[in-house]
Amino acid sequence: MRLLTATLAALVALGAAGIAGVQIAGHYFGGAKASAPAPAMMAMPVPVAPVVKTTLPIYLDYPGRIEAIRSIALDARISGYIESQPAQDGADVKSGDLLYQIDPRDMQAALDQAEAQYERDQASLDYAKANFGRGEELVKSGYVTKDVYDQRSSAMRQAEAALSLDRAQIAAARLNLSHAEIRAPFAGRLGRNQASKGALVGPSTGALNTLVELDPIYVSFNPSESDLGTIAQARAAGKVEAEISLADSAGAVRKGELTFLDNSVDKTTGTIAARVTIANPDFALLPGQYVRVRLHIRDEPDALMAPEAALGSSQLGKFVYVVGANDKAEMRLVTLGPSAGPMVNVVKGLGEGDRIIVGNLQKLGPGSPVQALPAQDKPKP
């Protein structure tokens, strides 16, 4: 009995000692864990760029189409056979260049006939004048009756009228002869020929070709009526300059001037017809081409510009990260204006001294510690 009691007492003592050991160990390790400080977050190296204050040109952009100032059909004024076509299809010609030659022999013969008729009537007039002069002396002496004298006077006036008619016929014959040559009334480019050499042409046969003036040239576009007031203010301030570029080429820009604004708004579209005139000395722009039109409306001084690549989007709108107090990332909601290359105008949300974070944006959040680097320095991975 005593042995059993001693054994139970020993087991109870061992259990108490084990529980005490576990509590001591738990207290030691748990206390050590609770007392260790949390590691600080490392500052993310980020490239930054300053807000730039500059004068910003304000533009209005529109799609436009090239139109020729003059485009004419080349018609034959007289009937005849085409003798030659010195200017080939699609040729660039100068004002006065010979484009078509019609066989001139019929017109030359008509001119020779009119000139011969003039010479004959001139001789008749000379005789009538001499006869009338003799009649003036004879009628005074009574050797010629008054009736004969009047007949001589009438014959002289008829000869003078015939000579005037001959002059008109000569002028008409010379004009017809000049129409045998079809020349360019202005510099431009020919189209496709519609009458081959040897074809009989005339006023009723249709156009032989077309000629289009390409320098200068028009660019037509249709601003919205909501832009009409802005454009009118710009015109009142002076010349409105325009930049023209092809729809598929951002590099080739041509300068022009707004030269026409219609006097009424199209009620079906709510737009107004407008036109820019530009130089086209190399004939690179052709009627019918689509282009981009940028009207320079004004210059906005002291505009705040930020890199467009730094912009982010959220449900609240556009935002940027800036280096805030204690070198922590701060999200700023911004209101944007027009763009100028890689920069965008920030109307609201930034100040002139702000530093905008332009890299590592996907790794940032509001309050993240950052280390600002110049924009040209790339952070190490």
Per residue, the 3-state secondary structure of 151-183, as one string, reads HHHHHHHHHHHHHHHHHHHHHHHHHHHHCCEEE
373 has pLDDT over 60: yes
Residues 197, 90 share a domain: yes
For residue 239, tell me if it sits in a domain: yes
In whole angstroms, give the CA distance from residue 58 to residue 253: 17
Taking the CA atoms of the chain, what radius of gyration do you get in angstroms? Answer: 48
Q: What is the largest CA-CA distance in the chain?
A: 205
Q: What is the mean pLDDT of residues 329-339?
A: 89
For residue 314, tell me if it sits in a domain: yes
CATH number of the domain within which 157 lies: 2.40.50.100
pLDDT of residue 39: 57
Residue 8: pLDDT band (50, 70, 90) is very low
In whole angstroms, give the CA distance from residue 330 to residue 354: 11
pLDDT of residue 16: 42
Residues 193, 103 share a domain: yes
Residues 207, 92 share a domain: yes
347 has pLDDT over 50: yes
In whole angstroms, give the CA distance from residue 19 to residue 28: 14
Cβ neighbours of 76 (radius 10 Å): 23
Q: Sign of dihedral through CA atoms 326, 330, 336, 342?
A: positive
As given in the structure block, the two tokens for residue 330 are 């701060």
40: region left, alpha or beta (phi > 0 left; psi from -120 to 50 alpha): beta
Residues 316, 188 share a domain: no
Q: What residue has token string 């454009």? A: 231
22 has pLDDT over 80: no
How do residues 62-91 score in pLDDT, each as one tens digit? Answer: 999 999 999 999 999 999 999 999 999 999
For residue 29, tell me if it sits in a domain: yes
148 has pLDDT over 80: no
The predicted model scores a pTM of 0.68
314 has pLDDT over 60: yes
328 has pLDDT over 50: yes
pLDDT of residue 368: 86
pLDDT of residue 352: 85
For residue 259, tell me if it sits in a domain: yes
The distance from CA 260 to its chain's CA centroid, rounded to whole angstroms, is: 14
Q: What is the mean pLDDT of residues 297-309?
A: 89
pLDDT of residue 43: 79
Closest CA to 310 of 365, 352, 356: 356
CATH number of the domain within which 336 lies: 2.40.420.20
For residue 380, tell me if it sits in a domain: no
Residues 367, 307 share a domain: yes
For residue 41, tell me if it sits in a domain: no
Residues 223, 205 share a domain: no
Residues 233, 198 share a domain: no
Residues 206, 112 share a domain: yes
Q: What is the mean pLDDT of residues 148-152?
A: 76
| Residue percentage of the chain with pLDDT more than 90 | 51
Residues 76, 64 share a domain: no
For residue 327, tell me if it sits in a domain: yes
The tally of domains found in the chain comes to: 4
Q: Distances in Å between the alpha carbon of 113 and those of 38, 109, 334?
A: 119, 6, 88
Closest CA to 87 of 217, 229, 214, 182: 182
Maximum mean pLDDT: which of 223-237, 239-253, 324-338: 223-237
Lowest-confidence region among 59-73, 212-226, 338-352, 362-376: 362-376
Please say which residue of 211, 238, 262 terminates a domain: 211
Residue 277: pLDDT band (50, 70, 90) is very high
Q: What is the mean pLDDT of residues 251-270?
A: 90
As given in the structure block, the two tokens for residue 233 are 């203010």
pLDDT of residue 266: 93
How do residues 120-141 score in pLDDT, each as one tens digit? Answer: 999 988 888 888 777 666 666 6
One DSSP character per residue, 120-161 reads HHHHHHHHHHHHHHHHHHHHHHTSS-HHHHHHHHHHHHHHHH
Residues 79, 156 share a domain: yes
Residue 249: pLDDT band (50, 70, 90) is low
How do residues 212-229 score in pLDDT, each as one tens digit? Answer: 999 999 999 999 999 999
Rounded to the nearest integer, the mean pLDDT of the chain is 84
Q: What residue has token string 């919205």? A: 224
How do residues 25-67 score in pLDDT, each as one tens digit? Answer: 444 344 444 444 555 567 778 888 889 888 899 999 999 999 9
Please say which residue of 211, 241, 272 terminates a domain: 211
Residues 205, 130 share a domain: yes
Closest CA to 218 of 84, 353, 69: 69
156 has pLDDT over 90: no
Residue 111: pLDDT band (50, 70, 90) is very high
Beta-bridge partner residues of 100: 182
Please say which residue of 300, 326, 353 terminates a domain: 300
For residue 381, tell me if it sits in a domain: no
Residues 130, 206 share a domain: yes
DSSP tag of 361? G
Range of the domain at 256: 60-69+214-300
Which runs of E-coded beta strand occur in 262-360?
A: 274-278, 290-307, 312-314, 317-323, 329-333, 335-340, 343-348, 355-357
